[in-house]
Chains A and B, each alone.
Chain A
Amino acid sequence: MWKFFHQLASPPHFYRLAAVLSPWLAAPGIALIAYGVYAGLFLAPMDYQQGDAFRIIYVHVPSAYLSMMAYMIMAVSGGIGLIWRIKLSHAVAAAAAPLGAAFTFLALATGSIWGRPMWGTWWEWGDPRLTSELILLFLYFGYMALRAAIDDTAKADKASAVLALVGVVNVVIVHYSVEWWSSLHQGQTLMKKGGPAMDPAMLYPLLAMILGFTLLFGSLLLRRVRTEVLFRERRTRWVREMILSPEGS
C-alpha cells in the first residue's frame, strides 16, 4: 500500500503511469461527452420555460464544477508539496492552473451566452455566482502570473502554493460576501435553485457530460503533468536515457 504511494511520488514512475492512464480516461470521457452532446441537443425535450436555451447547461454546469474542482486540486497539491516537500505535487498544481482557468472562462462565457436570452443581458452583476466565478478567474490569473514571475522553479512552487492556500480561504469569504451583496439588490431575476425535479431525459445527458468532462479533465491534467515533469526533470539521467533510447518515450 505505502509502496504504491512512494512510487507515485517518483517522477519517472509517475511519468510512465500517466502515459498509461491518460488514454484510459480520455476514451470513456470522449464517449460520454459524445453521448451527452447528442442526447442533450437532440433527445432531451425542450424546457417549458426556457425553450432550447437551457441546453447550454450541458457545457455550463460541468465547466463551472470543474473550475472549482481544479482550484481545489491546485491548492491541495500545492499544500501537500509545501508540507511533505513532494516535488511531483507541485508539478500537478502547476499543470492544473491553466486548465482551471480555461474551465472558469468557459463557465463564464456559457453563462453569459445563456444570460443574453434569459435575462436580456450578457452580464448580470446581481447574480452572485457570476461575480464569484469572475473573482475565481482573477485568482487563477494571479496564481499563474506569480508562477511566471519567479524564475526559480522551487521558489515559484512554494510561493504559489501559499497563494493558492490563501485563495482557498478567500473563495469561501468571496462566496458568502457576494451572496450577501446580491441579496441587497432586490428583484433580480435569479436563476431558480434546481427548480422542479429535472426530467430524466434532461438529467442523464447532464450527468454524462459532468462525468465525461471530469474524465477528460483528468486525462488532460495527466498529459500536462507529464510535460511539466519532463521539463522539470530535463537535466536528470532518466530523462536523458529515455530520450536517447531507441523507443523514444
Chain B
Amino acid sequence: MSATTSDPRLAPTRQAPKQRMQLSWTDPRFRNLVWQALVLAIIVAVIWYLVGNTRHNLEARHIATGFGFLESTSGIPIGEQMIPYTSGASTYLRALTEGVLNTLKVAIVGVILSTILGTIIGVGRLSPNWLLAKITAVYVEVIRDIPVLLQLLFWYVLLQGLPAPKASIRLGSAVFLSNRGIKVPLLVWEDAHTWALVAFAVAIVLTFLWRRRVHRQRDLTGTAPKVWPVALALLIGLPVIVWAIFGAPLTIDMPQLHGFNFSGGGTITPEYGALTLGLVIYTSAFIAEIVRSGIQAVAQGQWEASQALGLHRGQTLNLVVLPQALRVIIPPMTSEYLSLAKNSSLAVAIGYQDIVSIASTILNQTGQAIEGIAIIMLVYLTISLSISLFMNWYNAHIALVGR
C-alpha cells in the first residue's frame, strides 16, 4: 500500500469498521440471536397448537364460526337503556351496543368524578388543617384496603336497602331515594334547548378569544381587566338569551308517586348508582395518593424561591408547583383510569348490564364463545388504548423540556 492513499485522515468519509459476528457461543451477539430465534419458535408453535386445537374442537362439536349471529333477534331483556331496544325484536348487535354504551357511561362518569374527588382528597391530606388531613388520611387508608368487589356489593346492598317507593326518602321537593333507584326531575327537551346548547358552545369559543385578548393586553401594558366576569356573562347570558328568543320553554318532567311506583322523571338505577359510586370511591383513594405524591415530589426549594420572589400561595401553586407536579402525576393516573375502565366489568356481580354481562348472556344463548370473548376483548382494548393514547398525548404535551 502506498502512503498517499492509506492515511485514514485524508479519506473524505471514513466509516466505522463493520464488526463481524463470530459463529461462536462466546460471542454475545451470536448468543442473543440464538435465544431470540428460540423464543420466536416457541411463540409460533404455541399459536399453531391453539389455532389447530380450536378448529378441531369446533368441527367435532359442529359449531359454526363467524359473526353472522349478530344479526339474529336477541331475547335478552335490558333494563339499562341508552338507545331504544326491545327484547325479542332488536338484534344481538343492538344489545351489544347497549352494553358498550353502558360500560362507557360508567367509565367516563367514573373517571371524571374520581379525578375530582381524588384531587380534593389528595390536596386535603397535605392541608395544614389537622382535622382535614386526618380525615382524608383515614379515608385513603380504609378505602384502598377493602377489595373493590366487596365495596360494590356494600353500596348495592345499601341502595337496595332503601325503603320502597311509598316510603321513599325525599331530598328537597323532587328527588326521591327508594329501592327502585334515585328519581330526579328531567327537563323535557325541545329545540330551544338544543339551540341554547349551541349558544353555550359559541360562548366557550368567545370566552377563549376574550381570554387571549386580555392576555395580549396584559403582555403589552402589564394590567388588564379580569377574565372571569365577561366569561361568566358570556357563558350564562348567551344561552339564556337564545333560549328566551325561542320562547323560553321550560317543562320539567317531575317524578310522581303513583301507587307502588313512580312515573315520569329520570332514574339512576341502584345498579348504576352502586357501580359508579363504588368505583369512584375506590379509585379516588388511589388518585388521592398520586396527587399527594406528585405535589410532594416538587422540591421545597421551589415553594421558597417562588415565595421569596413575592408570589402568593395560589400563584405559586398554579404557576410553579402544579406544572411540575402534573409530570409526576400523569403516568400513574393513566394506570388508574385504565383500572377503573376494566374494573367496571365487576358490574356482573351486581347485575348491571355492561358489555361483559350482555356478551356473556349472548355467549350462553348462541354458543359463540370465541366470538363473544373476542368482542369483549376488542371493546376493552379499544377503550384502554383510547385512554392510553389520550394520556400519552397529554403527557408529551406537558413533558419537561431540557431534562
**A and B physically associate:** no
